[in-house]
Amino acid sequence: MSDSVTMDKIVSLCKRRGFIFQSSEIYGGLGSCWDYGPVGVELKRNVKNAWWRSMVESRGDSVGLDCSIMMHPTVWRASGHVEGFSDPLVECKVCHMRWRADQLDKPACPSCGGELTEPRNFNLMFKTFMGPVEEDAAVVYLRPETAQGIFVNFENVVTTTRKRLPLGIAQIGKSFRNEITPGNFTFRTREFEQMEMEFFVKPGTDEEWYRYWAGERFKWYLDLGIRAENLRMREHEKSELAHYAKACADVEYLFPIGWSELEGIANRADFDLTQHAKWSGKDLSYFDSQTNERFIPYVIEPSAGADRSVLAFLVDAYREEDVEGTTRVVLKLHPSLAPVKVAILPLSRNEKLTPLAKEIHERLSRNFVTEYDDTQSIGRRYRRQDEIGTPLCVTVDFESLEDNQVTIRDRDSLAQIRLPVARLEEALKAKLAGESFDAGSLWAGARA
């Protein structure tokens, strides 16, 4: 990780440029809740779209799902969450701060050194009431993971799609956990978005598929530009495994807070379908017509966090560079993740330049996510585009009116070239697809 990046710098950039704001800020904020601003929502959508493309659209063996957040309360008994989804909570008898007992180095309050209470198990699920009466019979939970919606729909999906195993079912959506120690910006929050796939396979092939998914998911982050030295895979010890898991590995990222989990890949075996079959009384086995066998499928689950991924992409892209004696802050985001792909910047807000600049913007916005900006000095506008990670800027100047050429500026190398307006789309597409900025043939005829 770059030495210069800290969580404070990321938080400050996010607020300054409109990636992420504190929730309800004008009322003093709400702990661990965050709102995505205009460029943040684009970045997050791009991350989720990249995941969906890779997990659903580009595969023939998976489909998508979008389940409701509130589910039948028995789901959470069957899944083990009512019984076991809890953290050991201790409270300081002096300052009343609360801590997770399993995260403390010594049995004293990390804040004031005071004596702690005995640990008690604190369930992380948010409870609410459905309907007008607040009584136990009306209790429902906000889902703490999207996975259970997939398990309880397994039969619906198999029946309606007529798909055979192996079959992946993917879902992106909000989950809620009443975390005892949320924090580190969007790393751990009480409301967050998950990107989960349950991949149903024939028992006996599960270990192979587990290794396959661990490899695929690791590669996904690298393909989207995460630097290899900041990413590692960590296999869980047997003692660390969740109650449902036969094996689990975490993709870890070197956040400013140290190596931390980005995504988990688990072999859940037949735990979930067996449990839901037992509690619902429905047969959730699968009949393989090719081998005439009936069995409960095993499940491999790659489970990622959308917010945590966004944070990792932001941290990894963040650079401070010395340019002619001043510091340039730039987000070197992968072009497919960048909130804005091309900014159109007339040299100044001049009535002679505006018509051509607007015409170019209108044309480019049909093919690219663009931004038109003619406020402030050109230097300040470049700085803003660098800080939101815009890969390319197109500048229209007075010469453009004479020769019908414009300047393209590359975010990463700061190289600038001029080329005819007529070839802009072709050039921008090639560049966003990763072509080197000074690639010969495309730019032939362009003036440097």
Please list every residue from 370 through 389 that binds ligand GAP, using CB under 6 A: none
Closer CB to ligand GAP, 66 or 320, in the complex: 66
Pick the binder of ligand GAP from 17, 44, 143, 188 (CB under 6 A).
188
Q: Reduce the secondary structure of 227-248 to three states and give it as a string.
A: CHHHEEEEECCHHHCCCCCCEE
Please list every residue from 304 through 363 that binds ligand GAP, using CB under 6 A: 304-305, 307-308
Closer CB to ligand GAP, 256 or 305, in the complex: 305
Please state the closest distance from residue 279 (CB atom) to ligand GAP, in A.
Answer: 18
Please list every residue from 110 through 129 that binds ligand GAP, using CB under 6 A: none
Closer CB to ligand GAP, 189 or 275, in the complex: 189
Pick the binder of ligand GAP from 43, 140, 147, 337 (CB under 6 A).
147
Closer CB to ligand GAP, 165 or 241, in the complex: 241
Is residue 394 classed exposed, middle or buried when 0-12, 13-18 and 19+ CB atoms within 10 A define those classes?
buried
Residue 145 binds to ligand GAP (criterion: CB under 6 A): yes
Please state the closest distance from residue 16 (CB atom) to ligand GAP, in A.
Answer: 23
Residue 192 binds to ligand GAP (criterion: CB under 6 A): yes
Pick the binder of ligand GAP from 17, 81, 177, 361 (CB under 6 A).
177
Query: Is 198 within 8 Å of 94 (Cβ atoms)?
Result: no
With contacts defined by CB under 6 A, name the span among 59-67, 102-110, 205-213, 257-265 that binds ligand GAP.
257-265
Please state the closest distance from residue 195 (CB atom) to ligand GAP, in A.
Answer: 8
List C-alpha distances in Å: 310 to 232, 316, 317.
Answer: 17, 10, 11
Among residues 379, 391, 372, the alpha carbon closest in space to that of 331 is found at: 391
With contacts defined by CB under 6 A, name the span among 5-13, 214-222, 227-235, 256-264 that binds ligand GAP.
256-264
Which residues lie below 8 Å from residue 441, measured CB to CB, with a gap of 6+?
none
Look-up of token digits 């992946």:
168
Angle among Cα 383, 385, 390 to the nearest 5 degrees reads 140
Distance CA 333, CA 385 (A): 12
Residue 414: left (phi > 0), alpha (psi -120 to 50), or beta? left
With contacts defined by CB under 6 A, name the span among 97-105, 107-115, 260-268, 403-411 that binds ligand GAP.
260-268
Residue type, 343: A
Pick the binder of ligand GAP from 22, 62, 194, 275 (CB under 6 A).
194
Tokens linked to 357: 């600049």
Interface size with ligand GAP, residues (CB under 6 A): 19
- For residue 184, the SS3 value is coil
Closer CB to ligand GAP, 307 or 371, in the complex: 307
Please list every residue from 286 through 305 that binds ligand GAP, using CB under 6 A: 301, 303-305
Closer CB to ligand GAP, 32 or 400, in the complex: 32
User: Terminus-to-terminus CA distance in the chain, angstroms?
Assistant: 34
Please state the closest distance from residue 302 (CB atom) to ligand GAP, in A.
Answer: 9
Tokens linked to 181: 């120690």
- For residue 268, the SS3 value is strand
Closer CB to ligand GAP, 172 or 427, in the complex: 172
Closer CB to ligand GAP, 113 or 183, in the complex: 183
Closer CB to ligand GAP, 311 or 360, in the complex: 311
Among residues 229, 221, 230, the alpha carbon closest in space to that of 257 is found at: 230
- For residue 188, the SS3 value is strand
Q: Which long-range contacts (CB under 8 A, 24 or more apart) does 86-89 make?
A: 86/121, 86/122, 86/123, 86/124, 87/121, 87/122, 87/124, 87/180, 88/119, 88/120, 88/121, 88/122, 89/119, 89/120, 89/121, 89/122, 89/180
Residue 411 binds to ligand GAP (criterion: CB under 6 A): no
- Which residues contact ligand GAP (rule: CB under 6 A)? 145, 147, 177, 179, 188-189, 192, 194, 196, 261-264, 301, 303-305, 307-308
